[in-house]
Amino acid sequence: MKHYITTILAAIALTLIAAPTLAAPPMTKTIIPTQDAGYINTISTKDNQLFVLGFGASASYDWQGQIFIPTQNHDISQNTGIAKYITWGDYDNDGDEDAFVLNYGGTSYFYQNQNGNLVVANPQIFPTLRVVGSHAQFIDIDNNGFLDLYISTAYGNNILFTNQQGIFTRNTIHPLVSNQTKTIKTLFFDIDNNGTLDAFLLNNGEPHDVYLQLHNQFILQPNHIFSSGQQQSTDAAQIDIDTDGDLDLFITNYNQAPLIFEQNNGTYQLTTISAISNLEQPIRSAVIFDIDNDADSDIYLTTDQFTNNILLENTGNGSFSNRTNHALTLEKNITKLAIPTDMNGDGAIDILSPNGVQPSIELFTNQTPTNNWLDINLVGQYSNKSALGAQIEIMTGGTTQIFTIIQNQNPQHIGIGSNDTTNIIIHWPSGTIQQETITDINTFQTIIESEPPYVKEGP
């Protein structure tokens, strides 16, 4: 029997069915029904398309107004592996985002974007790969302007494919693949504020690993503060938790309280926040987004074991309020992941997540009265085209927000409150520092990397 996802009505379109909500939460839930999907393992959105991947079943849909239309324009719809993760990046710098699907234990697939269609890449571009992987991401590790692919593995050594002019080759000697770890996710960001990307390896049941990049070499830091503890960690995310212009680190643990490493001018300390430090639910993932566009980051935690998800609203100055009466938190469910996305283009971030019990996907549409906002789409010219690894500083009304462009987050959505002018500083992977002032708010803005100062003009 052919495994595939179709509508419950066996029609061409998927109709969004309104589900009842209690009281009047600022998000309303609608159901995207699926049939024969079984357990949905991961989902992703890209360019108004929804990709659904599970155990032996995959599908893709186009978003058209208020409905999802099934499409067969992508080989990804035929993926029959146990899909673990999907990541996006423009590996050949042609302006189209390509995709990699990590299948657990089976063959994983690299997809080229050919005029909007995702097609399995030739093995000469990306070799056949079978791995028990947990997470994958594009990142320009060697900063040559082409995206490499880094795969975190639950068993054995992590995997790195370096990209030379659009051809991937497995690198077995890089420091980031030299140690056997139980890595479930890797974050690349500037940990020590020296202008280069570093690596944080989130390990399960053993100390985490930190590699700082010094003189173009990744060097293990065994005594780094991030390495402390041997919790059953499940996810990690960057967040400027106190909106001071420094990136902090947020780590979730299963049935243990999350850890918050707060940064102040390059120095980290383990900090306690009352609304967070007493949480001991079976947390699976952390979603960082600005639910009300008020210029600070909120936290959405998904859980399993039929417990309520958790929404932590940022109330300013590093304080959070646990919103137990919100639509995202009302029902007990199994929710192992969620993705933030503005499906209807109204400037308010919505949430998509697979239902862990029934064959369906839940769309939570944000009804919160929106403050002002910007969607910043960065396009590299001397850096990689997807601008992965770039850092954005947003200065509005005396507040500074900071973001690192990582997988699946370009464009970057930014809430700016009631402000109508935004000053932006972009730190590109090439080393270019670019300043922009934006007065055309509540819009999608594309910013193209300016010429590095060390590039000479003319012959």
* CATH number assigned to the domain comprising residue 413: 2.60.40
Cβ atoms within 10 Å of 212's Cβ, excluding its own: 18
Q: Tokens 């146990």 belong to which residue?
A: 82
Distance CA 167, CA 318 (A): 45
Which pLDDT score is estimated for 35?
53
Q: How far is CA 352 from CA 29, 180, 314, 328, 336, in A?
A: 10, 34, 21, 10, 12
Which pLDDT score is estimated for 454?
52
Which pLDDT score is estimated for 331?
85
User: For the range 13-16, what are the long-range contacts, defined as Cβ-Cβ under 8 Å and sequence gap of 24 or more?
Assistant: 13/67, 13/68, 13/69, 13/70, 14/61, 14/67, 14/68, 14/69, 14/70, 15/67, 16/66, 16/67, 16/68, 16/363
Distance CA 264, CA 432 (A): 24
Closest among 290, 253, 284, 277 to 401, alpha carbons compared = 290
Contacts of residue 271, defined as CB under 8 A and 6 or more positions apart, other chains included, come to 260, 261, 262, 318
352/393 same-domain check: no
Q: Tell me the whole-structure pTM to 2 decimals.
A: 0.91
Which pLDDT score is estimated for 38?
55
88/55 same-domain check: yes
Contacts of residue 175, defined as CB under 8 A and 6 or more positions apart, other chains included, come to 211, 217, 218, 219, 220
124/167 same-domain check: yes
Which pLDDT score is estimated for 11?
32
318/399 same-domain check: no
CB 56 within 8 A of CB 81: yes
232/189 same-domain check: yes
300/422 same-domain check: no
Domain C-terminal end among 347, 366, 385? 366
State which H helix or E strand residue 395 sits in. Answer: strand 391-396
* CATH number assigned to the domain comprising residue 284: 2.130.10.10
Which pLDDT score is estimated for 188?
96
Closest among 20, 50, 33 to 327, alpha carbons compared = 20
Considering the domain boundaries, does residue 14 fall inside one? no
Range of the domain at 167: 41-366
Considering the domain boundaries, does residue 1 fall inside one? no
Low-confidence ranges of the chain (pLDDT < 70): 1-25, 34-38, 229, 369, 454-459
Considering the domain boundaries, does residue 314 fall inside one? yes
Distance CA 106, CA 376 (A): 36
Domain count for the chain: 2
Q: How far apart are the first and last CA of the chain?
A: 63
CB 374 within 8 A of CB 414: yes
Considering the domain boundaries, does residue 102 fall inside one? yes
Which pLDDT score is estimated for 97?
94
Considering the domain boundaries, does residue 168 fall inside one? yes
Domain C-terminal end among 366, 392, 426? 366
111/242 same-domain check: yes
Considering the domain boundaries, does residue 24 fall inside one? no
Distance CA 339, CA 175 (A): 31
CB 401 within 8 A of CB 240: yes
**Rounded to the nearest 5°, which phi and psi values hold at 276?**
-110, -40
Which pLDDT score is estimated for 106?
87
What radius of gyration, in Å, describes the C-alpha atoms of the chain? Answer: 21
281/390 same-domain check: no
Considering the domain boundaries, does residue 15 fall inside one? no
158/62 same-domain check: yes
Which pLDDT score is estimated for 252?
95
CB 311 within 8 A of CB 329: yes
Which pLDDT score is estimated for 5?
32
394/269 same-domain check: no
Q: Tokens 């960065």 belong to which residue?
A: 378
**Rounded to the nearest 5°, which phi and psi values hold at 227?**
-80, -5
Which pLDDT score is estimated for 1?
34
Considering the domain boundaries, does residue 250 fall inside one? yes
Contacts of residue 418, defined as CB under 8 A and 6 or more positions apart, other chains included, come to 371, 372, 397
Closest among 179, 194, 143, 150 to 164, alpha carbons compared = 143
CB 338 within 8 A of CB 352: yes
406/259 same-domain check: no
Strand 399-404 to 433-438 pairing: unpaired
Q: How far is CA 194 from CA 118, 213, 220, 290, 409, in A?
A: 37, 9, 16, 27, 23
Q: How far is CA 30 from CA 15, 67, 257, 262, in A?
A: 9, 11, 31, 36
Domain C-terminal end among 366, 381, 411? 366
296/406 same-domain check: no
